Amino acid sequence: MTLSDDWFTELCTESGSAFSLKVKQKLHEEQTPYQHIAIYETEFFGTLMVIDGFIMLSDFDNFLYHEMMSHPALFTHPGPEKVVIIGGGDCGTLREVLKHSEVKQAVQVDIDERVTRLSEQFFPELCEANDDPRAELLFADGIQWVKNAAPASVDLIIVDSTDPIGPAEGLFSAAFYRDCFEALGEDGILVHQSESPLIHQPLIRNIRNAMGSAGFTQLLTINFPQPVYPSGWWSATLAGKREPLTTFRERASREKPFATRYYNHGIHLAAMATPEFWKERDRR
């Protein structure tokens, strides 16, 4: 990360690339017990949150990520009533989850309370569902929470984590996925943000292999645009126990009674398409 001449720049060393945003001013900065958080006002992308030098979200494009981390999995599960979000302290994914009336409880488990409190201050639109009676905000270790969860007690686990460094590193492990497998019901689905499908292919392969070794028999990596993340192209990997993840409640998706800015039935179908170079990757 660099900040010079009023530009914030995030370096992606593994691809030899960088992404820059013109900054008007720094709004806030602090070091929590877990990570460094900075908030900026940018010229075009609105408010920007940066954690440990990596862009987490902006006003301008966060809806792409939050909608695709939630709605494809929710419409794939036959009846998601209890949802657990690991991470997701900005509360954007929680807001999208609670748009589904069939969800009776949504538990968000993030280790760093300051992410949520700063989001309430600087990204209030993402926190609109925080007072929903179905929402429960816990500030705890998500890895430990899943390990202690009762077997088959959860319908959907969404791992809305930072990159696999620091506090989030353990969220990408086979041991964590095994605990998720035990916590999920027979129709349960795990969805994990899985970085750029263009420049992080080894990581995606490792995630899928670890999910498979944890017992998940159905895997699906979906892709979507995300301008502020490396390469501008992002992914989420879904893991299920028995039902094909390419089958979803299409009528409910078409007739969704709530507003979205990106997700719809056609986007869901398109996100499941497999690029040709992925097929070559999977043959290796």
> Order of strands, edge to edge, in the sheet holding 154-160?
135-138, 105-109, 82-87, 154-160, 184-193, 233-240, 218-225
Beta carbons within 10 angstroms of residue 213's beta carbon: 11
* pLDDT tens readout for residues 51-73: 999 999 999 999 999 999 999 99
Q: What residue type is 240 in one-letter code? A: G
Same domain, 10 and 36: yes
* pLDDT tens readout for residues 79-118: 999 999 999 999 999 999 999 999 999 999 999 999 999 9
Same domain, 53 and 70: no
Q: What is the pLDDT of residue 169?
A: 62
Q: Supply the CATH number for residue 179's domain.
A: 3.40.50.150
* pLDDT tens readout for residues 131-161: 999 999 999 999 999 999 999 999 999 999 8
Domain with 117, as residue range(s), is 62-283
Same domain, 20 and 91: no
Rounded CA-CA distance 215/207 in Å is: 13
Same domain, 218 and 201: yes
pTM as predicted? 0.94
The separation between the first and the last C-alpha atoms of the chain, rounded to the nearest angstrom, is: 34
| Residue-wise DSSP of the chain | -EEETTEEEEEETTTTEEEEEEEEEEEEEEE-SS-EEEEEEESSS-EEEEETTEEEEETTTHHHHHHHHHHHHHHHSSS--EEEEEE-TT-HHHHHHTT-TT--EEEEE-S-HHHHHHHHHH-GGGGTTTT-TTEEEE-S-HHHHHHHSPTT-EEEEEEE--SSSGGGGGGGSHHHHHHHHHHEEEEEEEEEE---TTT-HHHHHHHHHHHHHTT--EEEEEEEE-TTSGGGEEEEEEEESSS-TT---HHHHHT-SS--SS--HHHHHHHT---HHHHHHHH-
Q: What is the pLDDT of residue 280?
A: 59
Instruction: Check pLDDT > 90 for residue 31.
Output: yes
Task: Give the mean pLDDT of the chain.
Answer: 93
Same domain, 154 and 113: yes
Same domain, 21 and 69: no
Q: Supply the CATH number for residue 24's domain.
A: 2.30.140.10
| Active-site entry in 61, 90, 155, 160 | 160
Same domain, 165 and 279: yes
Q: What is the pLDDT of residue 283?
A: 46
Domain stops at, among 58, 79, 96: 58
Average pLDDT on 3-19 reads 88
Please say if 160 is a catalytic residue: yes
Domain stops at, among 58, 78, 99: 58
- Out of 53-62, 145-154, 221-230, 273-282, which region has the weakest mean confidence (pLDDT)? 273-282
- Out of 29-38, 220-229, 269-278, which region has the weakest mean confidence (pLDDT)? 269-278
Q: How confident is the model at residue 3 (pLDDT cuts 50, 70, 90)?
A: low
- Scan for tokens 């900075």, then name that residue: 38
CB proximity list for 36: less than 8 A, separation 6 or greater: 29, 30, 51, 52, 53
CA 165 to chain centre: 15
* pLDDT tens readout for residues 189-212: 999 999 999 999 989 999 999 999
Rounded CA-CA distance 9/55 in Å is: 9
